[in-house]
A and B are shown apart, each in its own frame.
Chain A
Amino acid sequence: MTGGSAWSRGAPLLPRLLAVAVAAFVLLPMLLVVVMSFGEGTSLRFPPSAFTLDSYAAYVTRPDWMQPTLNSFVIALASAAITLLVTTPAAFAFALFDFPGKRLVRLMIMMPLMVPFIVMALAYFFFFGRTGLLNTMTGVVIAHACLSVPIVFLIQSANLKSFDWTLMRASASCGAGPLTSFRHVALPLLRPSFLVAGLFAFITSFDETVIALFISGRAASTLPRRMFESVRQESDPVVAVVSTLLFVVVVVAALAVAWRQSRKQ
């Protein structure tokens, strides 16, 4: 039975090795990009011959990079706002009421989750082509909102499920109408989780590439689309800068959440 005991002694090590391997697998390519972003010259190369901040300067000064960045922010903000405007009332309606056709409506809301991105991209391409929304920010905003509605609806429904609805009755018994109760009780209590849902919608849009490639065109080009073109056509080192910045933002955000969480306990 020595083999068995040796195995069980080794077992705790295995998950640790796996974790290290996964982390390395994820992080190493990322680090590669970070290093390249400080590289010298006008094309991507590894290892760089010298380290400069030229590419960073280029990123913030070149309109062909700044414009897509701005576009992406505007589109992500707008589509997150639209998403929340749709999903918040929907999630409340689903949590509070039974109505005929409820399951059908739920299915409709969930639909974008089941359709492959590329199919949606193509559909939008032809549909927007006919309606004049192709190559416009409005078009991308609408498409991205459709994409994030099902996910955000699911998140908010889960939040509402764990919400204590007797609080709304308590508020009503104190004399507050439905809207007042919503403002004074539901909203303050649900705001943090709704903000997370909104952030999710924002990221869904900011990160989306396939549909943006098809319908955003040059005028409404998003950052991911610009990056894709850059890599394909020019091998511009600025793309490494953008990746690095995004990476840093995500790491900082994750650390901030972790820090808040640990302070709560």
Chain B
Amino acid sequence: MHQPSPDPFLRLEGVSKRYAGGALRAVDDVSIDIRRGEFLSLLGPSGSGKTTTLMMIAGFELPSDGRIVLSGRDIVGIPAHRRNFGMVFQNYALFPHMTVFDNVAYPLRLRKLAPDAIAETVGRYLEMVGLTSYADRRPNALSGGQQQRVALARALVFDPAVVLMDEPLGALDKNLREQLQFEIKALQRKLGITLIYVTHDQSEAMTMSDRIAVFNAGHIEQIAAPIEIYRRPATRFVGEFVGESNMFEATVSDPQAGVVSTAIGPVRAAAPLDCARDAPVLAMIRPELIRPADAPPADNGTTLTVASIVHFGDRVAVEGSTADGHTVRLRLSDREAAALAPGADLAVSWRPDDVHLLVP
């Protein structure tokens, strides 16, 4: 299901969380190996169990089942405050009665560092997040982005073993969010932080993560590198949740040649198929990989009637339908779409390389 890692630093083994007397499985048999220094995103729709999983790692929720192992030691019984994990919350959760400096100094004071060591370390981290001149302010005198930078400094300042973030940028506007994504990623690289990052924003997960764990209804559908998730989703859910996709139900017609038959005609994949003739599979083709063609080829192509054209500026979303009413989505450049109008015929094709077959 997931690739075994050589150095599993933090490891979830069959972790479950049940609520309502076992009736509700918020998290269901989740296993993840997290490498030291890895940026892992937990991505999934609302209610899929991302926060619950993170809270179990943090120590704020007790798993109903399973083990959480850090460097070979089961930490399920260790309370949150002894796990030495940094945490960033969506609503910042800064201490309103303390200055920025005191907020960041708080973890160090708890660790009984000498005052000058504290001042030096806090100064260094405030500089990293660009808030040196704000040290004496109270949190309520800061913007949302600045507050989250303080929270970031507070979560990193004590050199935690793992840093956990639950939708840390969810409350910020788009530009600020992108800027902070960049800053968090840069800090994580620079400091070699092991970071588990909960988000339901797929572009955030795609751009920042080393690997993404896609959650659905409490279980993990796939854990892989972002581009792997995009190119070769393991399940229909992943293919449809991450990015746009054309998904066709198919039956295998020639396993050796990698040919399946679908409602839009025969589709040929690049590699032979590891399943029997007539086995049911799903054929997925990303919209941007379907190209306009001079004439539709015998396989891996069809003729569409253009149904709708939506301009996004940098790209054009085109929807066409086949003769028997199946919808196919395309991404074209402005130039490619220039001659198109609703109702026009459009021949399209795609390469065998661009066909991804999912065996359910």
A interface list, Cβ under 8 A from B = 164, 166-167, 169-178, 180-181, 184-185, 188-189
Option from A175, A176, A189 in Cβ contact (under 8 Å) with B84: A175
- Cα A172 to Cα B78 in complex, Å, equals 12
Q: Are B96 and A189 in contact (CB under 8 A)?
A: yes
Asked if B81 and A176 make an inter-chain contact with CB atoms under 8 angstroms apart, the answer reads yes
Q: Is B97 an interface residue (CB 8 A)?
A: yes
Q: Is the CB of B111 within 8 A of A166?
A: no
- Complex contact B110–A180 (CB within 8 A): yes
Question: Which residues of B are found within 8 Å of A178, using beta-carbon distances?
Answer: 81
Judging by beta carbons under 8 Å apart, are B106 and A169 in contact?
Answer: no
Other A-B pairs, 14, CB within 8 Å; known A174-B154, A184-B95: A169-B80, A170-B87, A171-B106, A172-B60, A173-B58, A173-B80, A175-B110, A175-B158, A176-B81, A178-B81, A181-B81, A185-B95, A189-B96, A189-B97
Q: How many residues of B contact A (CB 8 A)?
A: 27
Main secondary structure of the interface of A (DSSP, over half): helix
> B59 contacts which chain A residues (CB < 8 A)?
172
Q: Are A169 and B107 in contact (CB under 8 A)?
A: no
Q: Is B155 an interface residue (CB 8 A)?
A: yes
**Can you list 7 residue pairs at the A/B interface with Cβ under 8 Å?**
A167-B93, A170-B154, A171-B95, A184-B95, A184-B106, A185-B95, A189-B97
Q: Indicate if the CB atoms of B85 and A174 lie closer than 8 Å.
A: no
Q: Please tell me if the beta carbons of A169 and B87 are within 8 angstroms of each other in the complex.
A: yes
Contact B110 A174 (CB under 8 A): yes
Contact indicator A166/B110 (Cβ below 8 Å) = no
**7 tightest A-B contacts by CB?**
A173-B87, A170-B93, A174-B107, A172-B81, A166-B93, A172-B80, A175-B110
* Residues B86-136 near A (CB distance < 8 A): 86-87, 89, 91, 93-97, 106-107, 110-111
List A contacts of B106 (CB < 8 A): 171, 174, 176, 184
B111 touches A173 (CB 8 A): no
Q: Shortest CB–CB separation between residue B106 and chain A, in angstroms? A: 5
Contacts of B154 in A (CB 8 A): 170, 174
A171 to B59 CA separation, bound complex (whole angstroms) = 13
With beta carbons under 8 angstroms apart, the residue of A170, A177, A184, A189 that contacts B79 is A177
By beta carbon, the residue of chain A nearest B106 is A174
Q: Please give the distance in Å from A178's CB to the nearest CB on chain B.
A: 8
**A167 CA / B154 CA spacing, docked (Å):** 13
Residues of chain A within 8 A (CB-CB) of B151 are: 170
Contacts of A164 in B (CB 8 A): 91, 93
**Among B95, B96, B155, which residue has its beta carbon within 8 angstroms of that of A173?**
B155
The closest CB in chain B to the CB of A188 belongs to B97
The smallest beta-carbon distance between B76 and chain A, in angstroms, is: 16
Query: Once bound together, how far apart are the Cα atoms of A172 and B84, in whole Å?
Result: 9
**Which of B82, B106, B164 has most A Cβ within 10 Å?**
B106
Which residues of A lie under 8 Å from residue B111 when comparing CB positions?
175
Which chain B positions have C-beta within 8 A of A181? 81
Of A178, A180, A184, most B-chain CB atoms within 10 Å: A184
Asked, given contacts A174-B158, A175-B111, whether A167 binds B81 with beta carbons under 8 Å apart, the answer is: no
